[in-house]
Amino acid sequence: MVLRSKTVAWVAGILAVIIIAVVVWVTHNTSSVYNYSGGPTFNSPPGTSFTNQPVIQDDAAKNAVVGTESVLNGLHATQHSLGASSSALVSELAVHGPSSFTYTTGAVSTPDEVSVSVGPDGQVVVLAAYSATGKCFFLELNYETQSGNGGMTGTSPVRGTSYAESAGGLCAAGTPPGEGPSGPIDWGPGWSQ
C-alpha cells in the first residue's frame, strides 16, 4: 500500500510539472494575442522588422474594419438605423467602438484610423482602413430591406457585407473604390488575400 501511494504521488507530481511546462511554452510562443477590443493584435516574430511583413500589415487594417463591424451590427440591431449623419456615427463609435482605433469621416493614413461614411437613409455604411503597405481596405454593411445602395454611389447594392480594396490614392469611406482614383473596383464577398 505504501508503495502504491508513493507511485500515485510521484505520477501526480510529474503531470503537474508537464502541465506547467506546457502553459509556460504556450504563453511565450503564441503568434498573436487578443486585446480587449475583441480583435487580434499581431506581433512580429523575434528578429524581424514589422515593415517586412506586408501580410501582417494588411491584416491589421482588415482587423480595424472587421472589429468595427460587430459594433455597427449591434447598433443597427437596437436602433434599426445607423442615422443619416456620418459625424454622428463617428461619435457613437468613439464611445462604443474598439478603443484601439480612431474614427473619422475623412481620409485615413495610418493603420489605427477608420474612415466612416453612412448613406442618407442610415441603412448603408462604408468603413475604410489604411494599411502600411499602401492598400486601402473597404467594408460595406448594407442593411437595406431590398437590393439598393442607400443613396451612396460607388457602393454595392447587395444586402449584407461586401468587401473591396484599392492600392494607392485616397483612403476614405466617403470615396469608396467604385469611384476612387484608381478606377472602378468590384465589391465582393471577401478581400483578395
pLDDT digits (tens, 9 = 90+) for 24-47: 555 555 433 333 333 334 444 444
Assess whether pLDDT exceeds 60 at residue 49: no
- Cβ contact 168:158 at 8 Å: no
- Shortest CA distance to 162 belongs to which of 29, 170, 152? 152
Distance, in Å, from the CA atom of 70 to the CA atom of 97, rounded to the nearest integer, reads 9
Tell me the pLDDT tens digit for each residue of 137-158.
898 999 888 777 777 777 778 8
Q: Mean pLDDT over residues 92-100, rounded?
A: 86
Higher pLDDT, 126 or 175: 126
Mean pLDDT of the chain: 75
Q: Mean pLDDT over residues 118-136, rounded?
A: 89
pTM greater than 0.75 (yes/no): no
Distance, in Å, from the CA atom of 119 to the CA atom of 128, rounded to the nearest integer, reads 14
The C-alpha cell 514589422 sits at: 50
- Reduce the DSSP state of residue 37 to 3 states and report it: coil
pLDDT of residue 1: 57
Distance, in Å, from the CA atom of 100 to the CA atom of 34, rounded to the nearest integer, reads 12
What's the pLDDT band for 134 if we cut at 50, 70, 90? confident
Assess whether pLDDT exceeds 90 at residue 104: yes
Distance, in Å, from the CA atom of 88 to the CA atom of 94, rounded to the nearest integer, reads 10
What's the pLDDT band for 118 if we cut at 50, 70, 90? very high
Q: Is 23 exposed, middle or buried (0-12, 13-18, 19+ CB in 10 A)?
A: exposed
What's the pLDDT band for 115 if we cut at 50, 70, 90? very high
Portion of the chain with pLDDT greater than 90, in percent: 10
Assess whether pLDDT exceeds 50 at residue 181: no
Q: How far apart are the first and last CA of the chain?
A: 63
Return the C-alpha cell found at 129.
482602413
Bridge-based pairing state of the strands 113-118 and 124-130 = antiparallel
pLDDT of residue 112: 86
Distance, in Å, from the CA atom of 43 to the CA atom of 59, rounded to the nearest integer, reads 11
For 74, other C-beta atoms within 10 Å of its C-beta total 11
pLDDT of residue 168: 72
Return the C-alpha cell found at 31.
503568434
Strand pairing partners for 130? 136
